[in-house]
Amino acid sequence: MRRMVGSTLARTDQNLSMFRRRAMRSVVSACAAAWAAWAWPVPPRAAADDSVVGTPHDLSASGPGSTHALTEQEVCIFCHAPHNATGQSPLWNRGERNIHYRIYASSTTDARIDQPSGPSKMCLSCHDGATALGLIASRPAADAIDMTRRTIPPGPTDLTEDLSDDHPIGFRFDRALAARDRQLRNPDVISRELPLGRHGEVHCTTCHDPHNNRLGDFLRMPTVRSTICLSCHEMLGWEGSSHAISGATIAGRAVDPRERLAYHSVAENGCTNCHKIHSAEEHQRLLRFRREEDNCLNCHSGGVAKVNIESELRKRSAHPVRLSDRRHDADEDPRLASRHVECVDCHNPHAAAPTQRTAFLEGVRGIGGAGIVGATLTYVSGVDRAGQPVEHARFEYEVCFKCHADGVPRAPTGRISRQVHQTNTRLEFQTSNPSFHPVLGARRNGEVVSLRAPLRSDSVIRCTDCHNSDNVDRGSDGLPTGPHGSIYEPLLVANYETREFTVESPLAYALCYRCHERASILGDESFPLHNEHIVRGRSPCSACHDAHGISRMQGGGNRHTNLINFDRAIVRPVSTQLRSRLEFVDSGVYRGSCTLTCHGVTHVAFDYGR
């Protein structure tokens, strides 16, 4: 009899427990529906199994996490109460602290970001890590719910009172904002799975459904391949970009120690390879690492990306990205910004796409097409040939001109002391100059007889035909190219000796001989004394020639044709009774005269001609 009674009582307790759980699920579902109706005028379709029970938001004594009540069995009471609540919809059961949060700010945001309000403020009543979890409105403060922890413990769920390192909330996402920021979608076409507030505000509940944890982190949409991010953000060039399609695994990545990435490959992680939605180390633009270059080199150091860019940056001559910490701003005017260089000055990480390794000087003949930016420079800002900023550079030189033109003046490098000192390459390459290398446009005459095929007198070249990695001729897709670094100064693709008394050889002037036939130069086809100067006199090409060009504002007329701009450390003025003279005079095709002192020999109006 005792066994039968005990068994009956046990079954009764079990049935009652099951009834309580089912009833609790019904109540929770009803609360969830009420919340959805309050947060979004037309509630999105709710799944049948939406429930807080068993999720991290279940803070009852039977909740799954380490933070939970000691005895309280109710689940909804930590946020909602049918009686004695605060009066806020939906039956809100937590008080609000009178606090001013530090909010997100960025030089590139077009939105007005206000203090958190509505459902965001409700979320922060726990997630700011300051308010006691057991302190609810329906009970006296002296009768707060006893918890294993008083507040949310430090960690990814504790957003603190500083929200400047979190995705912005508290701004109105409307058509006007989308019109100002062309990389935001029109809110009219955004999925209703991401509900805005009553007045179109972005709240925590836009991305998170506090009653549904099926996707993890209470997200409303998956994060794989940045599905949830790209629902609102329409980044120019993202489709087809390297970061969007790369199947490279992230195993070799220098993982952020505070947060492991969720997926296996670069493409699957998408935006989160570089950005953190909450608690980002670099607040502006929510970057994972404070130093801009670390966000790139975290993968481009040989562990994840196919080529090792970091090794290039360690070479003898390189773009010094490590020296310009936090000077770059995405909204900067390159003409006024302090001198710096970062990866994102030349590359748009949202648009940079895979590119085929091309042959040297490929496509140089097309004046209109030569120099157009490649896939790795897509949607990068620049400065045009007139010195005006452009939002998206069309030509490669426009990217270079951001730093090597009208910006903060550069001090002399000390490498070559020129007769006419110049630091503005935009002016050096102008086609109205007395002479120039054909970067902005083709030459005006056909006097250069030494050009190697496929170059012709009307060819146009790129900056990177000379300034590039020393790997560029090795023909391996596994080796990095581009002007990241080189063993030859100043960031040259091949050797270029500038020292006096250099013994002529194919290696000594390898840079020049990439475009100019060595036999033609040494055979005096253009200048009848080339061999005399280069071989017998052992004078470097740079003693007479300035590779970029000479601006007409500094050297006009016939004094600086044929790229003549003497190196004053090698070529010195002639002193006369009236003045010192150092000059070249162009007197016709392949003819001219020099007045100077070189290697102890003085020339005064010395004529030459072919």
pLDDT of residue 194: 97
Spatial distance between the Cα atoms of 279 and 267, rounded to a whole number of angstroms: 22
Task: Check: CB of residue 166 under 8 Å from CB of residue 159.
Answer: yes
The phi, psi pair for 209, rounded to 5°, reads -105, 105
| The residue count for the chain | 610
What are the CA-CA distances from residue 447 to residues 451, 483, 528 (Å)? 10, 30, 14
Q: C-alpha angle 272/278/279, rounded to 5°?
A: 110
pLDDT of residue 98: 87
pTM above 0.95, yes or no: no
H/E stretch holding 602: strand 601-609
Look up residue 514 and give its two tokens.
């990439």
Q: What letter would DSSP give residue 134? A: T
Domain boundaries of the chain, sorted by first residue: 1-220, 235-306
pLDDT of residue 275: 95
Pairing outcome for strands 435-436 and 574-575? unpaired
Spatial distance between the Cα atoms of 328 and 347, rounded to a whole number of angstroms: 13
At 87 the three-state DSSP class reads coil
Spatial distance between the Cα atoms of 60 and 68, rounded to a whole number of angstroms: 6
Chunked into runs of 10 residues, the chain (610 residues) has average pLDDT values of 44 45 49 48 46 95 95 96 89 90 96 95 95 94 94 94 97 97 94 94 97 95 97 96 95 70 94 95 94 93 91 96 86 90 96 74 49 93 96 96 84 76 93 95 88 92 95 82 96 96 97 97 94 96 96 84 95 84 92 92 88
pLDDT of residue 41: 42
Task: Check: CB of residue 595 under 8 Å from CB of residue 604.
Answer: yes
Task: Check: CB of residue 387 under 8 Å from CB of residue 397.
Answer: no
